[in-house]
A and B are shown apart, each in its own frame.
Chain A
Amino acid sequence: MYNRISTTEIDSLVEPARLHKRLYIDRDIFELEMERIWGQAWIFIGHESQVPNTGDYFTTNITHKVPVIMVRDKEDQVHVLHNRCAHKGAKLVENREGNVRGAFRCPYHGWSYKHDGTLIKIPNEAGYEGTGFDLNDACNNMQPLAQVESYRGFVFATLSSQAPDLKTWLGGAIDCIDNLCDRSPDGEVEVAGGVLRYEHECNWKFFLENLNDTMHPMVVHQSVVQAAKDYIDSLPESATRERSEAEIILPFGSSYENFEDSGITGFRYGHHYDGGKTSIHANYTVMPEYHSRMVASYGEEKAREIYSFNTHNTLFYPSLTIKTAVQNIRVVRPVAVDRFIVETWSFRLKGAPDEMLQRTLLYSRLVNSSAGMVGPDDLEVYRRAQEGLESSGSDWVEYHRQLGRDQQLEDRVVGGGTSDLDMRTQYKAWKEFMNGEIYR
């Protein structure tokens, strides 16, 4: 068990430009985050394309512990259910993905359930007669999550019945899901090319903070940018002209001015993105075959408009980050105060040539892989922070950058690309989740 923490104590940990180190190293805080942030927010579960056929399922944890199943039923409805037998609690499905033909069958006493979770049958049922047990009582089904909704194939669920509907919760950041899907000539995306799972030995919030920390790439990734640039410059042009690797790696060395220009936009509930008008992905080649298919679907002007909304990282706090211009996502799965998993999934733009998916996969491999050229240097600095914060030299980390310069618009806050606006946005939400004010 862990110690409860009072609301006053929580409020004292988050100042307008300083955070207490306990946020990152205190196990009791972590348990409370699981209950109040991960237990109340809409959490990304998966994409509908991961369960294309009746009986297809995909399993994950919605918090550090709570196991859930995403499954498609006969009526083509996608459900998210607790992965738990109503009888004595056994996990019904152990595999990460697969297909159940007729029904989920519990491996313990053989209770079976429809794809939508309804209890169908209990072996040797006669023993329940006259006991007051009611087979048709919904409490004997696999339990659905409090709320489940999807938007353009992105399935979210929440353990909270208080959370507003998904669209309201996504707010203006929804533009990024739209933009990702609109980059498909058919207006639809599907998960393709497998997953990378990367173990991070540090607190999950370091990863979220780093997404739009635009003061770090030129420092943390200086070595790989220089290694790539120096070597590629030394090669004959014919050997390197066609290489997408250069297009992907070199922008990590972009200047402070470039990052400042990209801007950051923050929303309610902790969501934010950087970029929009421009980003480090803005100069990717538009492949001619892809472009002509886009023009065929949307017309030249609209196609250009779709590419021109160019974001770097969009965070749907706390579980999902999307790279619209790259067409991959990273999903955060916390495990413990100093451990979480990042899953990288790539998307095929339906109707686009294969080269588009291949570039996405190249990006995922080069940048997001645990054996990549970029990710390990990011993780190294999070781990340094995790270890450094045990120091008794100070209790605080700071985030003052451009404080007081954020501009409040109707549904969003905008500011400079190198500002700490992303920090202010997410820690405002953190505090509200943790002190219970988030849905009031």
Chain B
Amino acid sequence: MNNSLDIKAVETFLYEEAALLDRPDLDNWMKLFTEDGTYWMPAREDQLDALNHVSHMYDDRVMMEIRRRNFVHPRASSKDSPVRSSHLLGNIRHQGKTKQGDLRITCNFHVVMWYREEQRVYAGTCEHHLVSTADGFRIRHKRVDLINPEAPQKSLIIYL
């Protein structure tokens, strides 16, 4: 454990990130990532590898930008229905450092999502690898593990 870590500052950062996804404001959300930042939603429990095993999502900044452009495109019919989320984060913990020296933060999440006249629930754990910069934290990697990654999933048109 790194005693000098201001866990409050980490929590504030995660809450702000979640608030951007709630709206959703993908433009500003993407800016929280480093240039080499990635977002990963594995398709099985304890998945080790994003390349040799399939995932629900695994985006770098280029794919995030393509997804963002598609998200606001007037001809993307799956985006005709509004989507709104409510993230609740808890059990936020500092888990030491990654090999690259980034902060490893884990938390639990519950997301209630409104989409296509239906309210649904996602739950699981998140892992953030955070870099401290002069402008505050940046995300090098965000991993989202659903509690039911192998279950049939409905269309998910937004990041959790």
Contacts and interface: CB of A to CB of B under 8 A. Distances in A.
B57 A227 contact: no
B65 to A, nearest CB: 5
A376 B54 contact: no
Contacts of B56: 196, 365, 369-371
A231 B65 contact: yes
Contact of B78 (A195, A369, A379): A379
B53 A194 contact: yes
Contact of B153 (A199, A228, A357, A364): A199
A228 B65 CA distance: 9
B139 interface: no
A365 B73 contact: no
Contact of A370 (B65, B66, B75, B153): B153
A407 interface: no
Nearest to A355: B51
B117 to A, nearest CB: 10
Interface in A343-374: 344, 346, 354, 357-358, 361, 364-365, 369-371, 373
B66 A376 contact: no
Interface residues of A, number: 48
**Which secondary structure dominates where chain B touches chain A?**
loop
Contacts of A249: 66
A357 B69 CA distance: 28
A197 B66 contact: no
A1 interface: no
B29 interface: no
B18 to A, nearest CB: 18
23 contacts: A194-B44, A194-B54, A196-B43, A199-B152, A199-B153, A201-B154, A223-B76, A224-B70, A224-B73, A226-B75, A227-B66, A227-B73, A245-B63, A245-B66, A344-B54, A361-B52, A361-B54, A365-B54, A369-B43, A370-B56, A370-B153, A373-B70, A383-B116
A231 B76 contact: no
A411 interface: no
A374 to B, nearest CB: 10
Nearest to A341: B152
A340 B100 CA distance: 43
Contacts of B63: 245
Contact of A230 (B58, B69, B116): B69
A110 to B, nearest CB: 29
A370 B157 CA distance: 8
A235 B57 contact: no
A365 B150 contact: no
A380 interface: yes
Contacts of A56: none
A375 B156 CA distance: 10
A4 interface: no
A384 B57 CA distance: 25
Nearest to B55: A365
A52 interface: no
Nearest to A354: B52
Interface string A84-122: 000000000000100000000000000000000000000
